[in-house]
Structure 1
Amino acid sequence: MEKRVFSKDTEKNTRLIGFLKTLMICTGTWSYHWTDNFMLEKIYKYFSFFPLAVFAAFYFLLMMELLRVLIEQDKLDSFLLNLGVFLDASKITIRFVFYFKNNVLRKFKDIMMDEQDIFESQEPEVIQYYLKRAKSWRSTLIFLYINTCLCSYGYMLVEISDNILVNKKHKINNESVEPPFLYQIYFPNPDQNIIYIYWVNCFMVTFIILAVNVSFAISTTCMVYGATQLEIFQFRLKHIHEVANKSYDGNIALTLKIYIQKHQKLISFITDLNDCIRSVTLGEFLISSINCASVVADITKVNDIGLSATYAGAYVLLLVAQIFTYASVASEIKIQSAAIADAIYECEWYNFDKSSQKMINILQARAQKPLEMTIGPFGAMTNETAVMMMKACYSYVAFMKDSGVANTSTE
């Protein structure tokens, strides 16, 4: 099988990763060609470090403020919500560390090359399915991105407007002004620098939204690609006679040899991806559970449905959406890899010659062990795991309420 050369034409095949590519360009993490404009390339080269530097500064200031609150016992009524934001920022940091450490971004090269192969395959059903899958995943990422924007910007604008009105009343009554309850980052003399707090938060939130969505989408997009390729492989197995007649002069044995190579390549891709992000998946499982529970515990202690409770509720819904999306795409890999065995039975293998039947047996043997995305050294990440995370969240909230942790912050 002729090996394809990765070129600028190949880099244009981004139907599946198109929206993610746009977000990655905005965060400076896209390492492939994206423009022919010389000036834009130069600007991007120097700009690329800036978004992640902003997020690193945000994470550091968030940690500083959390430590200050604990040391000075100040603003403890919002401690659990602040802890939830800090844990979410920690999760994003863990994702990026492992992505860069394990060079996960190189997998986009495989995605673009295989996408080009699909569009050159002259298989209308495969192309149609791939485009449908790409559109569905793009819609999912856009939905999560818009929800993140609404949750973050909406809260920011409402809180700033409310803070301006409150401080106007304070000035009329000759009372001291109060800083806004935005992202609780460390800021010296907040009472005297309220305008700067507004601008810094509005500036940082843009890059935080990008970091949240990019860090989440990198691993999940790779998993969606793996599941999509497995399903396409099933379709080709079921229609092996048609593919052989159209592309390989009716040579079933040659077609099966190529299929075995493709299947092995898919297995290697998914296995390597799991090795690269299994720690990310573990962090997703642990931190998301604790984070969700912390914010829910914060909601349970409010006496009225105010701005903070509304924001916390929207934040929990966003967390739950991310958890179930992550679990769903991970679970799809296990389902589709196991379904290859069913596809083999539908390909009329009993009409093959002995050599071809031996190759079918090789495929069948490999399909008996489903591919999985694991939670670190533990079991597979599936939809059932997401439900278990929700149960763990409920148990954690119940524990904090029973032990009085949730109420400590109000004392």
Structure 2
Amino acid sequence: MKAVHTSNDHFVKTLKWLMIFAGFWKMPLSKNPFLNKLYMFYSKGSKIYMFLFIILLAMELFRLIKDQENSKVIITSFCVMVSCILIAVKLYIIIKRNLADLIQEIIIKEEEIWKSDDEEVKDIFTRKAYFCNVLCAGLTMVQVVCLASMSAMAFIGDQELIEYNRVHNTTLDTYYWYQLWFPGVKLDHLGWVYTLNGCFGWIACSNSMVCHSLLATLMIFASTKMEILCAILRKCVKGKIDVDLDRNIFELKRCVVEHQDIIEYVTRLNKSISLILLLHFLLNSVEISSCVTSYLKGSVPMLQQIFLASYVTLTVYQILMASWNANEIQHQSTKIADAFYEINWLLLNKDGKTICLISAHRAQKPLSTTLGPFGAMTNQSGLLVIKAAYSYVSVMNTGTL
């Protein structure tokens, strides 16, 4: 008995919830117009809140530099602000390029697949959908652990700082969590400070998760379409009679159109995300090396160790998630040429054989996503980032490679 699917968002299930929480889901949430309008206000407010977050970080950084605060606090504040600006730039590109609209294309494709009688195609799609959801869920878990450890470190650090001020009769203010500008002494208004930091932390983390999960989902969908096309191609030509010949030519032409659609989809996707991938990869090695160096220098409290470990894990996870899916696009695109060759092309007429030859030749050129103008992104690109991070750690600790 075939499984019945009551919805067509299985492929984007995890991403859908992340986008809803971050305020990026564009489709109606409910049949109730009031709830949809309320969510629209939340969606616009979350983007304004992210902009306000960056403004407060910049104001506090300016104050720290002006008051000649500890250089370590200034550097940390600067790094956080740069990271948040990069998240905002990535999200701006996503909104400007209307990448979230491609979710509708995935849902439409999923509906077509569930109506299909091809069990092999359904199995491929189900397997890829499961992989996509697990990948996005894993990213969410690591991000939550990172935020939770940073929050716990701030709570405990503030209590220790309050005790230190009481014992030594000083007025040192808190430098934990995000360095946000606040009109007053933060330790005297911890309730407001924690509320602001919690809200800003939620917005920044959810936006970051949406950015990376959306890119991963769109790339996985591209490789899924290629794998499904290969499966259909290998069995689209069969029979020898004239009726079968007409059907074979029709199925073959339909596969060629699908291949052209895939090429267009990947080209459009790469044009939209290449700058995001470049921005993502530029600072990853520096972030990893900074965390590892902080861990190696001196004794590090347990909570800070957890935070550093989770942040490094998160960064490496994001690198490998992007590079692996980009590599899959390149790999699956070259397999289409083999699929055209594996067709029973001897059963086709001259026109059918010509179509196979031209299509196989077109598929010889691999499709790819690029790091801006610096060539295709593959698994090797991800390894290069990790190698660069190792080199930076060596320089920071020994002064030599």
Same fold (TM over 0.5): yes
Matched-pair contact (CA < 8 Å) for 1:84–1:294: no
Matched-pair contact (CA < 8 Å) for 2:334–2:363: yes
Q: Structure 1 residues 35 and 106, CA, compared in 2 at 3 Å: closer, same or farther?
A: same
Aligned to 2:281: 285
Query: Mean Cα displacement is larger for which, 159-168 or 86-95?
Result: 159-168
Secondary structure of the residue aligned to 1:69 is helix
Aligned to 1:295: 291
Separation in structure 1 between the aligned mates of residue 343 and residue 26 of structure 2, nearest angstrom = 41
Separation in structure 2 between the aligned mates of residue 139 and residue 110 of structure 1, nearest angstrom = 21
List alignment gaps of at least 5 residues for structure 1. Answer: 1-10, 405-411
Of the candidates 3, 8, 16, which is equivalent to residue 13 of structure 1? 8
Of the candidates 37, 54, 59, which is equivalent to residue 54 of structure 2? 59
The normalised TM-score by structure 1 is: 0.87
Aligned to 1:167: 162
Matched-pair contact (CA < 8 Å) for 2:240–2:347: no
Matched-pair contact (CA < 8 Å) for 1:373–1:380: yes
* Aligned-partner residue type, residue 64 of structure 2: V
Query: Mean Cα displacement is larger for which, 264-273 or 43-52?
Result: 43-52
Separation in structure 2 between the aligned mates of residue 382 and residue 224 of structure 1, nearest angstrom = 14
Aligned to 1:205: 201
Give me the identity figure in percent.
27
Aligned to 1:32: 27
Of the candidates 17, 21, 36, which is equivalent to residue 22 of structure 1? 17
Instruction: Work out which structure has the larger RCO, using CA pairs closer than 8 Å and 6 or more positions apart in sequence.
Output: 1
Of the candidates 342, 356, 359, which is equivalent to residue 355 of structure 2? 359
Matched-pair contact (CA < 8 Å) for 1:220–1:326: yes
Aligned to 2:317: 321
The alignment status of 1:98 with 2:89, answered yes or no, reads no
Count, aligned residues: 393
Query: Mean Cα displacement is larger for which, 29-38 or 156-165?
Result: 156-165
Secondary structure of the residue aligned to 1:36 is coil
Matched-pair contact (CA < 8 Å) for 2:158–2:187: no
- Cα offset, 1:34, TM superposition: 3.0
Q: CA RMSD in A?
A: 2.7
Aligned to 1:133: 128
Aligned to 1:181: 176
Secondary structure of the residue aligned to 2:183 is coil
- Cα offset, 1:130, TM superposition: 0.7
Aligned to 1:46: 41
List alignment gaps of at least 5 residues for structure 2. Answer: 1-5
Matched-pair contact (CA < 8 Å) for 2:341–2:356: no
Separation in structure 2 between the aligned mates of residue 72 and residue 177 of structure 1, nearest angstrom = 13
Secondary structure of the residue aligned to 1:164 is helix
Separation in structure 2 between the aligned mates of residue 275 and residue 198 of structure 1, nearest angstrom = 40
Which deviations, in whole Å up to 9, do the C-alpha atoms of 1:34-85 show, x marking residues without a partner? 3212221121122211112222222222233334334433132345544443
Q: Structure 1 residues 64 and 291, CA, compared in 2 at 3 Å: closer, same or farther?
A: farther
- Cα offset, 1:286, TM superposition: 0.6
Aligned to 2:372: 376
Matched-pair contact (CA < 8 Å) for 2:368–2:377: yes
Query: Mean Cα displacement is larger for which, 266-275 or 116-125?
Result: 116-125
Secondary structure of the residue aligned to 1:193 is helix
Separation in structure 1 between the aligned mates of residue 74 and residue 289 of structure 2, nearest angstrom = 13
Which deviations, in whole Å up to 9, do the C-alpha atoms of 1:331-376 show, x marking residues without a partner? 1100000111222232222332211111111210111000010000
